[in-house]
């Protein structure tokens, strides 16, 4: 009798693991890492090559004088020089510091604002649509007011960066909290998460993808606002990427001007890619990544 029960339970174990093995078979197959990387990269490289080719074609067509529109070879040559100069790195240091401080302030304001608006019904009615309205305001339109309030100073720049980026961050938080699946909240409450613990263990992690999307969008706004600010609010004693761009225009140094633009584009792209990677990592963990891997 005893051995009977034993074999019955052993059979049950075998059935269970057999079923598990059958059901999850083939779930984890996918193309190799190198292959995935290559299939994601080559279209981008091809697009880049095409853009440079079109640029070169326009230069060859003689549409503009070479001193106004230099060709890729000249610009990339100047970019190489620029990358080796201390001017770039000094300017980049100032700009990066402003971007970091401004974006951090915007994130702090946005997270706080988003959380409060998501939680308090009255504030949502009062501020919800206003946050979205703020988002549609072109950030450059804030500068005259910013300069009146703070003169030509870094504060003026930070003011506009925060106004530009914080609404996106706040909207990300609001959206994230709104769309936490109610079932997960019920499960969390049943497992003993109440009050602040419910936020810590369920709502915050469940809202994370939307929050990261908000951060990504906020970064794009912050970077644009910062560049607009550095072009308008030129502080003579402190060089920055934006200030150098203004000088290059004033001195009609077209190759340098375009080299600086490429730097701005690349920096914005790099940070955006970092947010994109974070977003992708989250979605992969969650198992909501689509087959194409985008």
Interface with other proteins by CB under 8 A: which range of 35-43, 120-128, 211-219, 286-294?
286-294
DSSP 251-289: TT-HHHHHHHHHHHHHHHHHHHHHHHHHHHHHHHHHT--
Interface with other proteins by CB under 8 A: which range of 21-29, 59-67, 111-119, 246-254?
21-29
Interface with other proteins by CB under 8 A: which range of 17-25, 37-45, 88-96, 273-281?
17-25
Q: Is 66:59 a contact under the CB 8 Å cutoff?
A: yes
Half-sphere exposure of 69 (CA within 13 A, CB side): 12
Furthest CA-CA distance within the chain: 99
Among 287, 290, 291, 294, binds other proteins (CB under 8 A): 287
Sole residue written with tokens 């100047």: 78
13 near other proteins (CB under 8 A): yes
Q: Is 202:156 a contact under the CB 8 Å cutoff?
A: no
Q: Other CB atoms closer than 10 Å to residue 109's CB: what's the count?
A: 17
Query: Which of positions 181-240 make contact with other proteins (CB under 8 A)?
Result: 183-184, 186-193, 197, 201-202, 205-206, 208
285 near other proteins (CB under 8 A): yes
Among 15, 42, 46, 137, binds other proteins (CB under 8 A): 15
Which CB contacts under 8 angstroms, 24+ apart, belong to 197-205? 203/177
Query: Site for other proteins (CB under 8 A): how many residues?
Result: 34
Which is nearer to other proteins, 76 or 201 (by Cβ)? 201
Which residues are near other proteins by CB under 8 A? 8-9, 12-13, 15-17, 19-20, 23-24, 27-28, 183-184, 186-193, 197, 201-202, 205-206, 208, 282, 285-288
């Amino acid at each position: 009798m005893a051995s009977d029960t034993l074999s019955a339970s052993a059979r049950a174990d075998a059935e269970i693991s057999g079923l598990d093995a059958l059901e999850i078979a083939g779930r984890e197959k996918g193309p190799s890492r190198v292959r995935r990387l290559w299939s994601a990269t080559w279209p981008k490289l091809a697009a880049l090559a095409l853009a440079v080719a079109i640029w070169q074609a326009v230069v060859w067509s003689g549409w503009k004088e070479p001193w106004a529109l230099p060709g890729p070879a000249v610009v990339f040559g100047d970019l190489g020089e620029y990358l080796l100069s201390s001017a770039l790195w000094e300017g980049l240091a100032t700009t990066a510091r402003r971007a970091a401080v401004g974006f951090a302030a915007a994130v702090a304001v946005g997270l706080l604002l988003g959380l409060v608006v998501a939680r308090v019904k009255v504030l949502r009615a009062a501020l919800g649509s206003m946050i979205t309205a703020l988002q549609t305001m072109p950030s450059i339109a804030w500068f005259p007011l910013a300069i009146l309030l703070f003169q030509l100073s870094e504060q003026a720049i930070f003011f506009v960066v925060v106004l530009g980026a914080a609404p996106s961050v706040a909207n990300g938080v609001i959206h994230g909290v709104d769309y936490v699946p109610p079932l997960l909240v019920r499960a969390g409450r049943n497992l003993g998460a109440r009050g602040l613990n419910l936020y810590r263990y369920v709502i915050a992690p469940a809202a994370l993808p939307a929050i990261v999307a908000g951060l990504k969008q906020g970064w794009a706004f912050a970077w644009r606002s910062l560049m607009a600010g550095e072009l308008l609010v030129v502080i003579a004693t402190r060089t920055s990427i934006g200030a150098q761009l203004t000088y290059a225009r004033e001195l009609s140094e077209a190759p340098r001007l375009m080299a600086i633009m490429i730097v701005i584009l690349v920096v914005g792209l790099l940070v955006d890619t970092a947010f994109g990677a974070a977003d992708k990592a989250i979605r992969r963990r969650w198992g909501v990544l689509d087959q194409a891997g985008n």
